[in-house]
């Protein structure tokens, strides 16, 4: 891969990662609820899902999914349903509990390490927008005359590295607000804001069309 091609993809990766999406919402939500350190597991899961989409698209399976109306519809409904389920669950999450030693409300129940990783992975892996984007964009940066595996490896490392930095940035910003959101009323409002955003994003996935039709 030529240096100028990689640089163009590097810039594109930052623009993509910085654009608000379900991964950013999840990172901020967990940053507020659990703090930056524990949100790292969620972000690791997001990267697993992102890597899966990139590899699937790069290997050509993504193109096959987009070519099949039924297969793409299944992915789209699963992705939308998962985000809506997450949103409803967060909206309804309980925030009441016994006060802590300092008199502040207790923290919300923590998801286990495995649960946070799985939630992040599923959030990205079931996102049809990600598949559409990867199938549409990756071919622009791949030289068919050169080994595919090496090029995919470079693109994968670049994408994951940039997205990891950006998601940690989102989580850090959110975690800084934890001190302001200690009351049950504030945490309930937080849950409803992020829950509503996740539901809205899930509903918006149902409008995602295939690249073949968009183009």
Q: Render each residue's pLDDT in the chain as its tens digit; 215 residues.
A: 778 889 888 988 887 788 777 888 899 889 988 889 999 999 999 999 999 988 887 777 656 666 677 767 776 787 677 778 777 877 776 665 444 434 333 344 578 899 999 999 998 888 776 777 777 677 777 777 788 788 889 999 999 999 999 999 999 988 887 766 555 666 677 677 777 877 887 787 677 665 544 33
Largest interatomic CA distance in the chain: 65
Q: 191, 152, 173, 133: which is closest to 58 by C-alpha?
A: 152
pLDDT in the model for residue 212: 42
pLDDT in the model for residue 104: 35
pLDDT in the model for residue 62: 58
pLDDT in the model for residue 171: 93
Q: What is the 3-state secondary structure (H, E, C) of the chain?
A: CCHHHHHHHHHHHHHHHHCCCHHHHHHHHHHHHHCHHHHHHHHHHHHHHHHHHHHHHHCCHHHHHHHCHHHHHHHHHHHHHHHHHHHHHHHCCCCCCCECCCCCECCCCCCCHHHHHHHHHHHHHCCHHHHHHHHHHHHHHCCCCCCHHHHHHHHHHHHHHHHHHHHHHHHHHHHCCHHHHCCHHHHHHHHHHHHHHHHHHHHHHCCCCCHHHHC
pTM: 0.69
pLDDT in the model for residue 101: 39
pLDDT in the model for residue 187: 64
């Amino acid at each position: 891969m030529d240096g100028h091609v990689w640089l163009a993809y590097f810039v594109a990766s930052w623009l993509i990662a910085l654009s608000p999406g379900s991964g950013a919402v999840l990172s901020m939500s967990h940053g507020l609820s659990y703090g930056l350190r524990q949100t790292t597991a969620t972000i690791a899961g997001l990267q697993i899902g992102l890597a899966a989409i990139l590899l699937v698209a790069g290997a050509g399976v993504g193109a096959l999914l987009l070519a099949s109306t039924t297969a793409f519809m299944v992915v789209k409904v699963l992705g939308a349903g998962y985000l809506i389920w997450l949103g409803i669950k967060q909206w309804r999450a309980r925030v009441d509990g016994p006060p802590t030693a300092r008199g502040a409300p207790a923290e919300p129940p923590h998801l286990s390490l495995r649960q946070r990783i799985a939630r992040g992975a599923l959030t990205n892996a079931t996102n049809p927008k990600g598949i559409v984007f990867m199938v549409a964009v990756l071919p622009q940066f791949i030289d068919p005359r050169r080994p595919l595996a090496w090029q995919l490896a470079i693109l994968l490392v670049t994408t994951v590295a940039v997205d990891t930095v950006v998601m940690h940035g989102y989580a850090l910003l959110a975690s800084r607000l934890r001190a302001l959101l200690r009351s049950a009323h504030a945490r309930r409002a937080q849950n409803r804001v992020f829950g509503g955003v996740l539901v809205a994003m899930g509903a918006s996935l149902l409008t995602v069309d295939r690249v073949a039709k968009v183009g």
